[in-house]
A and B are shown apart, each in its own frame.
Chain A
Amino acid sequence: MTARERIAGNVANYVDERTGAAAWLKKNLNKVFPDHWSFMLGEIALYSFIILLLSGTFLTFWFDPSMRHVVYEGSYQPLKDVEMSAAYASTLHISFDVRGGLLMRQIHHWAALIFVAAIVVHLLRVFFTGAFRKPREFNWILGVALLTLAIVEGFLGYSLPDDLLSGTGIRIAHAIIQSIPVVGTYLSFFAFGGAFPGEVFIPRIYIVHVLLLPGIFLALITVHLMLVWYQKHTQYPGPGRTEKNVVGYPLMPVYMAKAGGFFFIVFGITAFLGAVASINPLWLYGPYTPGQISAGSQPDWYMGWLDGLVRMSPPLETYLFGKTISWNILIPGLIIPGIIFTGMALYPFIESWITGDKREHHLLDRPRNVPNRTALGAMSLTFMVIAMINGGNDIIATHFDLTINQIMWFSRIGIIVLPPLAFVITKRICLSLQRKDRELVLHGRETGRLVMLPHGEFIEVHEELSPAKKFALTQHEQPAAIELVKEDARGVLNPKGIRAKIQARLSSANAENIAKPTAAEVKELESGHH
C-alpha cells in the first residue's frame, strides 16, 4: 500500500465511520442502467435545466424587473433617448454593455427551447414504448406536470424583457384570461393589478420565473428521478431481459462517465448555438407599448400550437345576460389545451381500463406491437403539428408564396380530417410491420442471392434469423379482447351497462393484431426449410 492509498483509505474510513455512507454508496454505485439512446432524452432535459439555472443566475445580476420609465442611454445607438421600461433597458444593458451578457442571454434562451423540446421527445419515447404503465403512472403524471410548467416558465421568461414581442405575448395571455366566462375580467384585474398593461406584471412574473417555478421544478425533478431510481429503469425486450431484472451497465464507472460527459456535450451544443445563432434580438423589437405590434409576432415554438389554434378559430362570440363570451378565444386558448393535458395525464389509467391489464410492466413495448396506442400517438402529434403550422402561417405564407387564407383553411379542415387519417394509416403501418416481423421469423431474411436448382428453378436464399433476434420479435404478448358480459349466469344485467359496452368495443380494437408465429409454426418450418 502506497502512502497515497493509505491516506485516501484513512479519509474514506473517517467519513464512513461517521456517516455510514460506504454501504449505501456501494449498493447504489453498482446500480445498473440499461443502455439505449432513447433513455438519454430525459437527460438532455435535465442538463438543459442545469444550464438554465446557471445562465439564469448570471442574468439576474443585471436584470432590473421593473416597469419604471427610463430613457435609454446605453451603447445601442438606434434606441438612444427612447423611453422604455427599466426591464427592457436592463436587458439591453446585459446584451451590449455586460461582458459576455449577450452570449449568456442567448445560451439561456436556446437552453429553454432545448429544455422543452427534450421534454417532448422524452415524453414521446415514454408514450410510444408504454413505459408509463404500472407502476410508473405517477411518474408519467409528474412528467406531464413538468412539461406544463416548462411551457409556462418559458413563456414567462419570454415575457420578462418587456420588448415589443414579449409585450404582444402578454397581451394575448391577458386576452385569454379575460375570455374566462364571468370571472375573466376580475382575474385579469387581479393578475395585472388593474387595467392592462399596468405597472406590476413584470415584477410579479419575475419572481414566479426565478423563484417559484424553479423551486417547484427542483422538487418535482427530484421526485421524478427518485421514482426512476426506486422503480428501476425500464428496458427493451431481448434475450435475458425479464420483468424482474435490469440488463445494462453499472452507474460507476460506466454511467458516471457517459452521463457526466453527456452533460458537457449538451452544454457545449447550447453554448455553440448561443455563440453562432441569434435568438430573440430584442433590440430590433423595440420597447413595448400597447399601441404597437409587429408583423410576424410569434411565441416561442412550444406555444406555437396554442397560437395556431387561436389563429384558426372562427369568430364565435355570444352575448348572454349582459356578458360577452368569446368562444373564439376560450375554446382554443383554454378548453382544448385543458382537454389535451388532462387527457395526457390520465392516459395510463384510460389504457389500463381499455386493456384490463393491471399487471406491472418493466419491459417496454415495440410501438408496432401496440398499434392502437401508436396510432393514437400519431393522431395527437398530427393535431399538434397542424396547429403549430398554423401558428407560423404568416411566415409560411411569405416564404412559400402562399396566402394566409389558404393555410388557415388547410388548418381548419386538416385539424379535423388529418388526425383520424393519421390514426388509420399508422395502425395499418403497424400491422404491416407485424406481418413483416412474422415473415422474418418464419422465413428469415432475404439475402438477394439467387440460386438455380438442378432442374432449372430459381430460388432466393433466405437466411434464418439468430435465435436472439427471433426471441426479440416474438417475446411480446398479444392482448385478448375483453368479452362483453351482457348478463351473468343467473340472467342479471351487467350493472356497468354502456361502460362495459364501450370498454369491450375499445378493447377489441386494441386487440387487433397480426398473430405472431407460434412455437409450433416455427418448429414446423425449421424442420423442412427451403
Chain B
Amino acid sequence: MAAIGAPTGAMDLRGDARRRRKETRIRRVFQGAAVFSVIVSVLIVASLLGRALFFLSKVDLSALWIPSRGWYPRRGVFDIPTIVMGTLVVSGIGMLVAAPLGLGAAIYLSEYAKPRVRRILKPILEILAGVPSVVLGFFAITWIIPNVVQTIWPEAGFFNMMGAGIAVGILITPLVASVAEDSLRSVPGALREASYGMGARKRTTTMKIVVPAAVSGIMASLILGLSRAIGETMIVAIAAGASGGSAFKINPLEPGQTMTAAMTALAIGSDQVRGQEGTFESLFFVGLVLFFITLVLNIVSERFVRRVRKKY
C-alpha cells in the first residue's frame, strides 16, 4: 500500500512528468495520422489540377462543349457532353435498377422480415456487395447482354450502355439497400406503435409513417448510389463498348463512352497515345470533372444523413 502512499499535508498534484510527456507523444502520433488523411485529399486535387490545366491550355476551350462531335482523343477531338451523356445514360439505367431493388429489399428487411429470415438474407445481400466490379463487367457481356438485353431488344449489339447500366445497377443495389435500411431501422419503434395503435395496417404504417420519417436517409442512399454509379469504371470499360473514342450517343442500346471508361482507355493505351500534345492530359481533366461531380453528390448525401442523425 505504501507504494502508492496516502497524501498528507502539503500536496504534490503535479503528477508524473514522464507519463505526461509520453501522453503528449502518443497524441502527436495519432494526430499525424489524421493530418495524413487531409494531405491525401490535397494530393488528389493537386495531382489532378496541374495537368488538367495543362490540358485546358492546349485545346480549344469552346470546342469542349459542342455536342455531337464525339470523343476521339487520338484525333484530338475532346467533347465533354459526349462522355457526360454516356455517364448519365449508364448511371441513369443503373439507378432505375438499383432504386426499386435496393429500396424494396431495404423495406422488406427492415419492416417485414422476421428476425431469423433477416439474419440469413441480409448477409447474402452484403456478400453481393463484395463482388468486384470487374466480375460484374464480365457478367454483363457474358450473361446480361445476351440473355436479358438482346432478348428484349434483339437489335442491340454485343456491347451497349443498357447492359453496362444494368450491371452498374446490380453493383450499387446492396449499397442503396444497406444505407436505406439503416435509416428505416433508426425510425423509433414508438412511431410504428402509435400508428398501429390507431388501427393502421402494416402497409399503411410502412408507407405513410416509417418511410416518410426515414426519407432523408433514403434520399442519401439514392444519392450515394448515384455517386458510386457515376464513378464506376470497370463495368463500363468492359461492357459499354467504346474502347477508344465514341460518337455522341443517347440510345442506350448502342455502345457509348462514359467519363470513367474514357479515362481507362487513356490509361491503358497511354503508351500508344503519341498524337496531339495534351491527349494524355485529358485523362486528368476528365478525372477532375468526375472528382467534383462525385464530391458534390457526396456532400449532398452527407447533408441528408446528418438530418437523420439530428432527428433521432
Q: Do A and B come from one complex?
A: no
| A residues adjacent to B (C-beta < 8 A) | none
